[in-house]
């Protein structure tokens, strides 16, 4: 099972959009996928058109339910472990626990039968984000095409190194995903160039700006359902091809 966190400390850079559409596209290719929403904003369920559910990740954290009991079927091959506002309170309780940075590993033992586990993360340094990064092997970082987002990505790298040192192990940054790319804007070319200089071939082909990508979650649909011929659908299908065909993680090469 590939365990991947989609993170980045800036808000609104396309983390959830990437998680939902990458998950959906992997599922369409026949892979069994589980998305775990670790953000208290609980956007993934909304984006997938799931409006009511009883249990969420918050119940797992307070040991009221097992992770596998909270899973909702979202699409064929695609399941969701949803978040809720209650996650905010549950996180506060987590602060008091021992080995609190590695609680996900303990609570998610029953999650099997999936080829991909994608964790959507909040745009903040929280115990939930640290747990997500301690749990996964791979990290994907969306970076929107603005100079501030570039700075955010660099800060994030430093932070990831600190976490790895503290935990004695670390997830590997496998992909940097340029988002909100607009080739007519000079800043897009500049940020993309800077990313490629720093991260080399870990930078994927960009996801272009596409209003249909911003409309799809409001309709509770993935981009492949909402606008299958759109730029967004083309770009996320291409990203998915990259993800599905990349070589397995070489643990010796981790930073």
Q: Is 15 in the site for Mg ion (CB under 5 A)?
A: yes
122 near 128, Cβ under 8 Å?
Answer: yes
Q: Is 59 in the site for ligand ATP (CB under 6 A)?
A: no
Count Cβ atoms below 10 Å from residue 59 Cβ, excluding itself: 19
Q: Rounded distance, CA 123 to CA 215, Å? A: 21
What is the token pair recorded at 242?
């990259």
Indicate which single residue of 3, 15, 31, 174 sits in contact with ligand ATP (rule: CB under 6 A).
Answer: 15
Which parts of 169-188 interact with ligand ATP (CB under 6 A)? 179-180
Q: Is 11 in the site for ligand ATP (CB under 6 A)?
A: yes
CB of 124 to Mg ion, least distance (A): 11
**DSSP-derived pairing of the beta strands 33-37 and 172-179:** unpaired
Residue found by looking up tokens 């903040």 in the block: 124
Residue found by looking up tokens 């097992």 in the block: 66
Name the strands in the sheet holding 78-81, side by side, starting at the edge strand that comes first in the sequence: 72-75, 78-81, 33-37, 116-120, 2-6, 138-144, 172-179
**DSSP-derived pairing of the beta strands 172-179 and 138-144:** parallel
Q: Rounded distance, CA 49 to CA 192, Å? A: 33
Q: Rounded distance, CA 68 to CA 79, Å? A: 11
Indicate which single residue of 16, 84, 129, 204 sits in contact with Mg ion (rule: CB under 5 A).
Answer: 16
If the CB atoms of residues 16 and 131 are measured against Mg ion, the closer one turns out to be 16
CB of 39 to Mg ion, least distance (A): 5
Q: Is 4 in the site for ligand ATP (CB under 6 A)?
A: no
Question: Which of the stretches 9-17, 93-101, 102-110, 165-173 binds Mg ion when contact is defined by CB under 5 A?
Answer: 9-17
If the CB atoms of residues 41 and 164 are measured against Mg ion, the closer one turns out to be 41
What is the token pair recorded at 109?
């033992």
Q: Which residues contact 93 (CB under 8 A, 6 or more apart)?
A: 61, 62
If the CB atoms of residues 129 and 179 are measured against ligand ATP, the closer one turns out to be 179
Q: Is 23 in the site for ligand ATP (CB under 6 A)?
A: no
If the CB atoms of residues 77 and 179 are measured against ligand ATP, the closer one turns out to be 179
Q: Is 210 in the site for ligand ATP (CB under 6 A)?
A: yes
Q: Is 110 in the site for ligand ATP (CB under 6 A)?
A: no
CB of 166 to ligand ATP, least distance (A): 24
Q: Which does 3 bind (CB under 5 to 8 A by kind): ligand ATP, Mg ion, none?
A: none
Q: What share of the chain is helix, strand, coil (3-state, %, to 5)?
A: 50, 15, 35
Residue ranges binding Mg ion (CB under 5 A): 15-16
Residue ranges binding ligand ATP (CB under 6 A): 11-17, 39, 41, 43, 123, 179-180, 207, 209-210, 213-214, 217
């Amino acid at each position: 099972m590939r365990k991947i966190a989609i993170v980045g400390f800036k808000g609104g850079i396309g983390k959830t959009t990437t998680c939902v559409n990458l998950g959906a596209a992997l599922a369409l290719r026949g892979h069994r996928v589980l998305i775990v929403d670790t953000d208290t904003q609980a956007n993934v369920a909304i984006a997938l058109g799931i409006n009511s559910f009883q249990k969420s990740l918050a119940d797992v954290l307070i040991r009221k339910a097992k992770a596998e009991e909270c899973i909702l079927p979202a699409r064929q091959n695609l399941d969701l472990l949803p978040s809720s506002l209650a996650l905010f309170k549950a996180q506060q309780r987590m602060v008091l626990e021992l080995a609190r940075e590695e609680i996900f590993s303990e609570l998610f033992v029953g999650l099997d039968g999936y080829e991909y586990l994608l964790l959507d993360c909040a745009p903040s340094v929280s115990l939930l984000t640290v747990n997500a990064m301690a749990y996964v092997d791979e990290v994907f970082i969306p970076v929107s095409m603005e100079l501030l987002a570039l700075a955010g990505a660099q800060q994030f790298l430093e932070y990831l190194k600190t976490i790895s040192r503290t935990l004695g192990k670390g997830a590997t940054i496998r992909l940097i995903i340029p988002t909100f790319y607009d080739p007519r804007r000079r800043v897009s070319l500049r940020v993309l160039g800077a990313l490629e200089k720093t991260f080399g071939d870990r930078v994927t082909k960009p996801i272009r700006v596409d209003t249909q990508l911003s409309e799809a979650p409001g309709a509770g649909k993935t981009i492949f359902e909402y606008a299958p011929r759109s730029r967004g659908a083309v770009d996320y299908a291409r990203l998915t091809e990259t993800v599905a065909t990349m070589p397995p993680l070489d643990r010796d090469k981790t930073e």
